[in-house]
């Protein structure tokens, strides 16, 4: 397995990655590119975009999709405090918020003096769709990814608010999917192919689970005509402000009393990410490890290495400590939630293992690890080399 020579990403990754001739991944290169962007000029450009959509008082100026996390607070801070706009906050609520996540979410309308529209599907449906998503694609949180990228766009159509302010372009932040120079905007294609893993609402109609079209109304992306008639546009704020999740955390905490998770998570050292779903840092992330051999500790370490908050060696230690952990407490809760045995869970997990990463050895699944690099190097030096010159008789 090839690993980035600067951060800790492996070549087989959910975030599309490219390596250059020095073995540096596109995520690291795009981060370096961001250091040379004129961010004051970008901020001015954001002001121009926002002015274009500012209403005379007849409607909200924009919609901000929020989960109540540190990034949601940052987006809302920029739109309200820096630019003085009146947004409508919109949340897809998947029923499994952590307590502190729920607290942070509920405070937003008070702290920012804004209206907040929260949508939650039926709990019975959510349990069914957790189970189905897990069996179909190894991702119980499909409904979350779909809801987060669909419901706010439905709300934009419903409330006739054409501008949607998203946070960061996730795969650009993680893996450098696009150049910052491209200033890409949100597309239906990104929603379907990346956020929804290629599965749309109609793929989740299921007789065995009893899921019908009427259960999935919230998961239907608006039509091209609906989007076109209103001129709906989804802008990533990360194209206009130098995006750093850690700085967003500090700002939210210091200015708005935003609270991080009071206890450490089982699978990563960061305690201020993904509090809108208790399984996101737990069993959902463990499934990523089962599939492609790394988890959120790798994602977090890459970000911290790129910002100079951690050395690569320290990052490797975090990967070694956290990526393989099977989160017992979190798994038990999820198995009860969806009524499944651990045996069934493990059996289904194994069907999703990527064979470019995993191989069976003496009955166990094994893979290459980033900390094996030095061992492999020292081994290879012991391999006898070919003679410098071959006798020609």
Segment interacting with Zn ion (CB under 5 A) among 20-28, 69-77, 239-247, 342-350? 20-28
- To the nearest whole angstrom, how small is the minimum distance from the Cβ of residue 125 to Zn ion? 39
Q: Which of these segments, 18-26, 64-72, 261-269, 321-329, binds Zn ion (CB under 5 A)? A: 18-26
Q: Of 5-13, 40-48, 316-324, 333-341, which segment contacts Zn ion by CB under 5 A?
A: 5-13
Q: How far is the CB of 244 from Zn ion (least distance, A)?
A: 16
25: contact with Zn ion by CB under 5 A: yes
Contact 166, 235 (CB under 8 A): yes
Torsion 245-246-251-252 (CA) sign: positive
- Considering only 19-27, 135-143, 292-300, 334-342, which stretch makes contact with Zn ion by CB under 5 A? 19-27
Instruction: Check residue 212 and give left, alpha or beta (phi > 0: left; psi -120 to 50: alpha).
Output: beta
Three-state DSSP state, 91: strand
SS3 state of residue 275: coil
Nearer to Zn ion, 5 or 95 (CB): 5
Q: How many Cβ atoms sit within 10 Å of the Cβ of residue 202?
A: 10
Fill in the per-residue mask, 28 to 67: x = in contact with Zn ion (CB under 5 A), - = not in contact.
Answer: x---------------------------------------
Q: Buried b / exposed e across 265-278, counting CB within 10 Å, b at 16+? A: bbbbbbebbbbbbb
E strand residue ranges, 292-392: 359-361, 364-366
Instruction: Based on the shown chain and the rule CB under 5 A, indicate whether residue 174 belongs to the binding site for Zn ion.
Output: no
Q: Which of 3, 4, 199, 249 binds Zn ion (CB under 5 A)?
A: 4
Nearer to Zn ion, 64 or 319 (CB): 319
> Does residue 7 bind Zn ion (CB under 5 A)?
yes
Q: Are 64 and 75 in contact (CB under 8 A)?
A: yes
Reported as type and span, the H/E element at residue 89 is strand 87-92
* C-alpha to C-alpha distance for 186 and 201, rounded to whole angstroms: 19
- Taking the complex as a whole, the smallest distance from the CB of residue 4 to Zn ion amounts, in Å, to 3
235 — phi, psi (to 5°)?
A: -105, 135
Determine, following the binding rule CB under 5 A, whether residue 177 of this chain makes contact with Zn ion.
no
Of 21-29, 91-99, 132-140, 148-156: span binding Zn ion (CB under 5 A): 21-29
Which residues of the shown chain bind Zn ion in the complex (CB under 5 A)?
A: 4, 6-7, 25, 28
């Amino acid at each position: 397995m090839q690993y980035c020579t600067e951060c800790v990403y492996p070549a087989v990754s959910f975030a599309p990655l490219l390596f250059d001739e020095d073995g540096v991944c596109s995520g690291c290169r795009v981060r370096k590119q961001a250091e040379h962007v004129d961010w004051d000029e970008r901020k001015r450009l954001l002001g121009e975009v926002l002015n274009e959509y500012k209403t005379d008082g007849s409607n909200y100026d924009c919609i901000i999709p929020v989960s109540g996390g540190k990034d949601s607070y940052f987006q809302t801070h920029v739109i309200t405090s820096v630019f003085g706009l009146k947004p409508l906050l919109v949340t897809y609520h998947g029923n499994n918020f952590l307590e502190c996540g729920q607290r942070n979410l509920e405070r937003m309308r008070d702290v920012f003096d804004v209206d907040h529209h929260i949508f939650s599907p039926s709990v019975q449906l959510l349990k069914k769709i957790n189970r189905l998503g897990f069996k179909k694609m190894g991702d119980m949180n499909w409904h979350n990814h779909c809801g987060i990228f669909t419901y706010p766009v439905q709300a934009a159509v419903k409330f006739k608010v054409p501008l949607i302010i998203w946070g960061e372009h996730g795969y650009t932040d993680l893996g450098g999917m696009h150049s910052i120079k491209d200033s890409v905007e949100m597309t239906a294609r990104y929603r379907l192919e990346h956020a929804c893993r290629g599965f749309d609402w109609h793929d989740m109609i299921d007789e065995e689970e009893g899921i019908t079209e009427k259960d999935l109304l919230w998961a239907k992306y608006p039509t091209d005509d609906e989007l076109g008639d209103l001129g709906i546009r989804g802008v990533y704020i990360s194209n206009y402000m130098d995006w750093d999740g850690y700085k967003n955390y500090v700002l939210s905490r210091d200015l708005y009393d935003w609270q991080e998770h009071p206890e450490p998570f089982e699978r990563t050292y960061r305690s201020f990410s993904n509090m809108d779903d208790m399984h996101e840092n737990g069993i959902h992330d463990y499934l990523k490890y089962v599939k492609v051999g790394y988890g959120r500790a790798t994602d977090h370490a890459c970000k911290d290495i790129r910002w100079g908050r951690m050395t690569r060696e320290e990052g490797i230690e975090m990967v070694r400590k956290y990526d393989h952990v099977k989160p017992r407490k979190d798994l038990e809760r999820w198995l009860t939630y969806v009524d499944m045995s651990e045996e069934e869970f493990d059996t289904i997990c194994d069907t999703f293992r990527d064979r470019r990463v995993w191989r069976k050895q003496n009955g166990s699944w094994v893979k290459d690890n980033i900390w094996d690099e030095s061992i492999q190097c020292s081994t290879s030096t012991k391999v006898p080399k070919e003679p410098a010159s071959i006798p020609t008789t």
